[in-house]
Amino acid sequence: MKIKGYRRPDGRFGIRNYVLILPCSLCASETARFTAQNVEGAIYLANQGGCSLSKRDLKVTLETLSGIAANPNIYATVLIGNGCEVVQASLLEAEIRKKTNKPLYTLVIREEGGSIKTVEKAARIAEKLCEEARKLQVEEADISELILGTECGGSDPTSGLVSNPVVGKCSDLLVELGGSVILSETPEMIGAEQILARRCADDETKDALLKMIADYEKDFLLVGENPRSGNPTPGNIQGGITTLEEKSLGCIHKGGTGVIRQVLGYGEMVTRKGLVVSDTPGQDIASIIGMAASGAQMVVFTTGHGTPTGSAVVPVIKITGNEETYEKMKDNIDLDCSKVLTQGKSLDEAGEELLEMVVRTANGRKTKAEELGFQEVSMARYCNFA
């Protein structure tokens, strides 16, 4: 099975072809936004952090931002710093260079003479890069080069019964074809740890998985909180989900039945084929950004109640098993798989239908979120527990 896209100088394969305007911090974000708005073909990633960071937070932020720049959907990056932030432009540039040899330009607002002059210069650079990107020839690649992120949000009982298992079927098919799948959302693995641990490829992977989940709970307890105090969410409870463990048992269906080959920290790059687990928060948008930083070119997002979420970096396919939600949110949801519940359609059939949509999206089909121009951004932040 083939997908179409763009071969990058670092050897990876992208299914979109963007020039990224990437601010190092919140203070540089508006300058980056103005730049992107003035250049057709450029995208902008809002950075709500980049300063006042703990040591752990700095590491995660550098990992994430550099991973986004290295994402194969990005042709080139224009990096914009303010000059005094913790995430210095030179520091982030060095991290990006470790991961990719794609085109990269760096500007610092204070050195360029202010925001207006920076926007003028950055826009000229970005226009040139976009022109180069448009000249690239579309190539074919095997679907084994696809890394698919999986996410669930606004869950209701149909998520665990239908849409998550459908994604799991799609995940198994992709892994069988040699591709990679990311199972995310650490808090929604609590209570299902032992099920996942039995699927790990070796003891090292199993120990890493169990430590990841235990550390998540420990971080909450250190500040006198409990992860169950905010999870399930009000929307989950309204839909009929009663406990975090119940939610977790539905969530992990997205990973299918395959062997877990790797456990990743937030934003760490996927280096093994097959099913991998990523240490992301349950907050949907932060989880999606983390998977994009890990190298996912696309995300499949299941929802029971509905969500409009999209991303500037990766296409996000929204899928629901709730027919009522689909009818209410046709502007936002790409695939209705409720017939599994209402008309006896098999999970295998629905999984194949989703894989077909994944391939069509890789080959240029725009998701509902892409058509609307949605590009939400959030990033995980951590206290200095470690």
Strand, helix or coil for residue 150: strand
Report DSSP state, residue 100.
-
Say yes or no: 120 and 229 in one domain: no
Does residue 169 contact residue 226 with C-beta atoms inside 8 Å?
no
Model confidence at 349, pLDDT cuts 50, 70, 90, reads: very high
Q: Same domain for 206 and 276?
A: yes
The domain spanning residue 71 has which CATH number? 3.40.50.2300
Examine the domain organization and report whether 38 and 95 are in the same domain. yes
What is residue 202's DSSP assignment?
Answer: S
- Does 172 map to a domain? yes
Note the pLDDT tens digit of each residue in 9-34: 999 999 999 999 999 999 999 999 99
Which stretches does DSSP call E strand in the chain?
A: 2-7, 13-14, 18-23, 42-44, 74-81, 104-108, 139-142, 147-152, 180-183, 260-264, 274-278, 298-302, 316-320, 335-336
Q: CA 209 to CA 213: how far, in whole Å?
A: 6
Q: Is residue 85 part of a domain?
A: yes
Q: Are strands 18-23 and 180-183 parallel, antiparallel or unpaired?
A: unpaired
Q: Is residue 246 one of the residues assigned to a domain?
A: yes
Q: State whether 243 and 343 are in the same domain.
A: yes
Cα within 13 Å of Cα(106), Cβ side? 16
Is beta strand 335-336 parallel, antiparallel or unpaired with respect to 316-320?
parallel
Residue 211 domain-assigned? yes
Q: Which of 101, 118, 135 is the last residue of a domain?
A: 135
Rounded to whole angstroms, the Cα distance separating 27 from 221 reads: 33
pLDDT over 60 at 329, yes or no: yes
List, for residues 226-269, the tens digit of each pLDDT value: 776 666 777 676 767 777 677 788 889 999 999 999 999 999 99
pLDDT band at 384 (very low <50, low <70, confident <90, very high): very low
What domain range is 25 assigned to? 18-135
Final residue in a domain of this structure, among 115, 135, 155: 135
Instruction: Say if residue 334's pLDDT is above 80.
Output: yes
Are 158 and 127 found together in one domain? no
pLDDT digits (tens, 9 = 90+) for 297-315: 999 999 999 999 999 999 9
Residues 289, 159 share a domain: yes
367 and 255 in a common domain: yes
Q: Which of 118, 135, 152 marks a domain boundary?
A: 135
If asked whether residues 289 and 356 sit together in one domain, one would say yes
Exposure string of 232-253, with b = 16+ CB inside 10 Å and e = fewer, is bbebbeebebeebebbbbbbbb
What is the mean predicted confidence (pLDDT) over 353-382? Answer: 95
> Are residues 238 and 171 both part of a single domain?
yes
- pLDDT-derived band at 130 (thresholds 50, 70, 90) equals very high
Please compute the mean of the pLDDT values over residues 86-113 and round it to a whole number.
98
Cα-Cα-Cα-Cα dihedral sign, residues 176, 277, 160, 331? negative
How many independent structural domains does the chain possess? 2
Please provide the average confidence, as pLDDT, over all residues in the chain: 94
pTM (two decimals): 0.94
pLDDT, tens digit (0-9, with 9 covering 90-100), for 170-209: 999 999 999 999 999 999 999 999 999 999 999 999 999 9
Residue 229's pLDDT is what? 67
254 & 341 share domain: yes
pLDDT at 148 over 90: yes
Q: Domain check: are 37 and 175 in the same one?
A: no
Q: How many CB atoms lie within 10 A of CB 323?
A: 16
